Structure 1
Amino acid sequence: MIHAEGLAYSYRARRIGGTPVPAVHEVSLDVARAEVVAFLGPNGAGKSTTFRMLTGAVRPSAGRARVAGHELPRQARAVRRRIGCVGQSSGTSPDSTVVEELVTQGRLYGLGRGASRRRAAELLADFELTGVERRQTKTLSAGQRRRLDVALALVHGPDVLFLDEPTAGIDPHARAHLWAHIELLRREHGTTVLLSTHYLDEADGVADRVYVIDRGRVVAEGSPADLKATTARDPQVRLHVPPTSLQAAMAHVLATPDTSDAERSDEDVTFRYRRESSALPDVISALVHQQIPILSLHVEQPSLDDFFLGLTGRALREPELPARHDRGRRKSRLPGRKDRKA
């Protein structure tokens, strides 16, 4: 459904003599029908720029891509009619009602008035917006507004859905709600989804595969489980025992081979253990043998952030200052309403 080879993009920075500044370097990817693929990387890594190339919003400096059966950039107009895009910010008119937005979107895609209204009614029901269809979009909650953004991207029944940071700024309940709708869309309609996100649990929980991008380059690709399995970081255990047993529990952990980073607080003992070893069951067995009650035990497996840290030496969600030549530039966007007829 999506195939790209050697995509690259450079822009000319005004403040450093017009020298081309590379933003994306030779990105290649393949995404199958009905697959959910996540682009994971820090701010400024090149995720949004790659999305803009794949949606026909900008012309690549090098490379080629095929999306939904059409070549980019030569057939950009045809590509836009087969894809739906949700950018980082909402493109709705604040004074329009929810149903007006949906009907207008249908008309922009060539649907008749009646067909646009029927499609709007379907999407209102699908995304649980039926009770707010007469409200102005500026009165919606963040979660409702984001569901409307996705509904707008689906008016014309696209084969591919691009989601650029779709759940940024909404609460965990609204995030879960939105992803449930996306999963239903994939399962019932075979929609292909390409998303970018900073939320590691989203990439871990909803994506079939992950492309890790850093400084404009794809540095790793695979399923979340496969990527996490390659990290050298050991699992961490948080062991909650009665306060009177903390010292004894700590002593047992320290005495057990293949444990490390043991720490004791006023409430629990934490430690890491080598995953191939029997250290964890050995600790539990020792505590049970000494009749030390285990009030709770939590094992934290290596995360995608651990994988990224091991790969690049930086945390995935580490705040980054924009480069000097990048300051003051407008936030990039995916194709919106003004691009539909382009």
Structure 2
Amino acid sequence: MSEEEAMRPTPATVHVQGVSKRYGDRQAVDDVSLDIGRGEFFGLLGPNGAGKSTLVEIMEGLRRADTGSVALFGESPWPRNTALLPRIGIQTQSSAFFVRQTAREHLSTVAALYGAPREAAEAALDSVGLTGRRDVQVEKLSGGQRQRLAIASALVHGPELIFLDEPTAALDPQARRDLWDVLRSLKEQGRTIVHTTHHLDEAQELCDRIAILVDGRIVVTDSPHALVDASRAPSRLLLPLGRLDERKAADVAGVDRVTVQGGSLVLETRTTGRVLSALDRLVGLDGVQTRTPSLEDVYLDLTAGATQSPHTDRSIPETTPERRP
């Protein structure tokens, strides 16, 4: 590849321009525009009711936007574009299953619907750690196992573009980390991933870029690293209780705030090195823990005061969008 080709922008796999959607008197999505590049791991974050699920369903071609346009690989997904179906995979929080089939039979059926080979089912089961449960009926799988099966269903036909809605919501910590490895491998294969999650550590760990939605509008789009780096969120220094008096801690130059949390004295500061030096002189640094700003700090700052809907986007009364297998 020449230097000129390397510098050329990657064509957008997903192009969203001026998309809006209203339900009655509620503006669910408000003039949203964004581009997601080929091979990008893109996260959509926001409070419940911010418009994430509605926006994703419009991208998927499951809902129609009131205004604006969406293109996947340069083609509109609405009205139902069957030419796009083999190129995209969709995992939702309310995925439908062939519950009387075994996990392997279910995936074989889904693979056949897309014209994928039968061995694709075994590969998909293995990728999400369900090989040992392949002969168990779907209705007898646990909630977390069904969640993994939903992800396998979205992957079984080898799509180029994958939509994942809270993919690790029902998984235990170890299963979450295992799935992170699966998602990283998909990105390494050049697949584009659109990912919604409330797990901010997950978004910070996996996503190339994120967009944060508040009340239907995108308030920021950037890499997690850039957002954290540009934030004014303080670092936190945690001391074992009893090591330093709260009043004396508050008098340390550079300390902005002192609280007691979880059995630790917490000092908030934007001059970490200066405060650590002062603590070293006062009480030493044994047992002192440092917590640097995270994506969660940025998120909480940007979404403070956002309107919180008591229901998620998917519960908005409307004709149920058509679900793909």
Report the TM-score range of the alignment, normalised by the length of the smaller protein.
Answer: 0.7 to 0.9
Is 1:8 aligned to residue 13 of structure 2? no
SS at match of 1:38: strand
How far did residue 2 of structure 1 move? Answer: 1.1
Task: Describe the shift of the 1:334–1:225 C-alpha distance in structure 2 as closer, same or farther (beyond 3 A).
Answer: farther
Q: Which residue does 2:295 correspond to in 1?
A: 304
Task: Describe the shift of the 1:75–1:329 C-alpha distance in structure 2 as closer, same or farther (beyond 3 A).
Answer: closer
Task: Describe the shift of the 1:215–1:268 C-alpha distance in structure 2 as closer, same or farther (beyond 3 A).
Answer: closer
**Does the aligned pair in 2 maintain the 1:51–1:334 contact within 8 Å?**
no
Q: In the aligned structure 2, how far is the partner of 1:63 from the partner of 1:118?
A: 40
Query: Which has the larger displacement, 142-151 or 84-93?
Result: 142-151
Q: In the aligned structure 2, how far is the partner of 1:265 from the partner of 1:58?
A: 45
How far did residue 240 of structure 1 move? Answer: 2.2
SS at match of 2:32: strand
How far did residue 135 of structure 1 move? Answer: 0.5
SS at match of 1:65: strand
Is 1:24 aligned to residue 36 of structure 2? no
Q: Which residue does 1:336 correspond to in 2?
A: 324
How far did residue 60 of structure 1 move? Answer: 1.4
Is 1:272 aligned to residue 268 of structure 2? yes
Identity of aligned residues (%): 33
Task: Show structure 1 runs of 4+ deviating over 6 A.
Answer: 330-334
Q: In the aligned structure 2, how far is the partner of 1:171 from the partner of 1:301?
A: 25
Is 1:262 aligned to residue 250 of structure 2? no
Amino acid at match of 1:7: V
After superposition, residues 1-342 of structure 1 pair within 5 angstroms as: 1-11=13-23, 13=24, 21-73=26-78, 76-111=81-116, 115=117, 117-187=118-188, 189-240=189-240, 243=242, 245-247=243-245, 250=246, 253-263=249-259, 267-275=263-271, 278-287=273-282, 292-314=283-305, 320-322=309-311, 329=317, 335-337=323-325
Q: Which residue does 2:6 correspond to in 1?
A: none
Residue by residue, what CA displacement relative to the aligned partner does 1:225-278 show, whole Å, maximum 9, x if unpaired? 22223333311111126x4x433xx46533321212123579532111124x64
Amino acid at match of 2:137: Q
**Does the aligned pair in 2 maintain the 1:68–1:82 contact within 8 Å?**
no
Q: In the aligned structure 2, how far is the partner of 1:330 from the partner of 1:186?
A: 34
Q: In the aligned structure 2, how far is the partner of 1:274 from the partner of 1:8?
A: 39
Amino acid at match of 2:149: L
SS at match of 2:256: strand
**Does the aligned pair in 2 maintain the 1:159–1:192 contact within 8 Å?**
yes
TM-score by length of structure 2 reads 0.86
Residue by residue, what CA displacement relative to the aligned partner does 1:283-317 show, whole Å, maximum 9, x if unpaired? 23313xxxx354422222233333233334237xx
**Does the aligned pair in 2 maintain the 1:239–1:269 contact within 8 Å?**
yes
Amino acid at match of 2:150: D
**Does the aligned pair in 1 maintain the 2:166–2:198 contact within 8 Å?**
yes
How far did residue 133 of structure 1 move? Answer: 1.0
TM-score by length of structure 1 reads 0.82
How far did residue 98 of structure 1 move? Answer: 0.5
**Does the aligned pair in 2 maintain the 1:39–1:213 contact within 8 Å?**
yes
* C-alpha RMSD over aligned residues: 2.7
**Does the aligned pair in 2 maintain the 1:85–1:335 contact within 8 Å?**
no
Amino acid at match of 2:17: E
How far did residue 184 of structure 1 move? Answer: 1.0
Q: In the aligned structure 1, how far is the partner of 2:107 from the partner of 2:254?
A: 59
**Does the aligned pair in 2 maintain the 1:162–1:193 contact within 8 Å?**
yes
Q: Which residue does 1:340 correspond to in 2?
A: none
Q: In the aligned structure 1, how far is the partner of 2:321 from the partner of 2:206?
A: 24
What are structure 2's unaligned runs of at least 5 residues?
A: 1-12
Task: Describe the shift of the 1:327–1:28 C-alpha distance in structure 2 as closer, same or farther (beyond 3 A).
Answer: closer
| Higher Cα Rg, which structure | 1
Q: In the aligned structure 2, how far is the partner of 1:331 from the partner of 1:206?
A: 34
How far did residue 213 of structure 1 move? Answer: 0.5
Task: Count how many residue pairs are aligned between Structure 1 and Structure 2.
Answer: 312
